Chain A
Amino acid sequence: MRILFFAHLKDVTRCAELNLACGDVDTDGFWRKILNEHPGLEPFRGSVRLAKNSEYVGSDARFTDSDEVALIPPVSGG
């Protein structure tokens, strides 16, 4: 799974992307995997939205290793 980080989350992870084998997981499973790699993301979990293959997904989403998953912190464009 290709996982993307943006804005201040890149400062937490010290990288813009990560390839991680997650298998077939739901959102809780995804967060367990990513927090295992980067525990520093925990304080941001409540404000981060997930996007799968460039589309926002809800808490009922499932992810596989072929997906690109982006952690989207609160946006500030414009």
Chain B
Amino acid sequence: MQIEIQITTLPVPAPLPPPPLTGAGAWVEFRGIVRGEENGQPIAALEYEAYLPMAEREMRCILEELAAQRPCLFAKVLHRVGVIPAGETAIYAGVAGRHRAEAFALLTAFMDRLKRDVPIWKCRALTADNLAKLQAS
């Protein structure tokens, strides 16, 4: 399986085109977005940090391991770090497979593992005031 991984402070573009792959019959995408509340309180943004390059390496290992059980053709993952405003994409994952079943299965399993093993953290929530001050500084 071909794998592309990027951890970036830049906004994740939307939509991302599926790759031109011979044999692909399914292109399954997931976007995790920053929820506008944390513990019941409204927030304007979340700040993420990652342990690079371990986070990238761990994502690749997980995808390779999962692909051995659920053969797919291609996977692309972008995880944004830094300050991410509410409503924007924190993670994008797309998986191409010959059929939808293995692509959905791999994507679901990947997200489960990411949330357990990939060293990326939501390190603080920012209110609208905090975010405005940060953007002004």
Hey, which bits of chain B sit against chain A, CB under 8 A? 32, 48-51, 53-55, 57, 79, 90-91, 111, 114-123
Contacts and interface: CB of A to CB of B under 8 A. Distances in A.
A75 B120 contact: yes
A77 B115 CA distance: 6
A6 interface: yes
A75 B49 contact: no
B118 A77 contact: yes
Interface residues of A, number: 15
A55 interface: yes
A78 B32 contact: yes
A54 B55 CA distance: 8
A77 B123 contact: no
Interface string A61-78: 000000000101101111
A7 to B, nearest CB: 4
A78 to B, nearest CB: 5
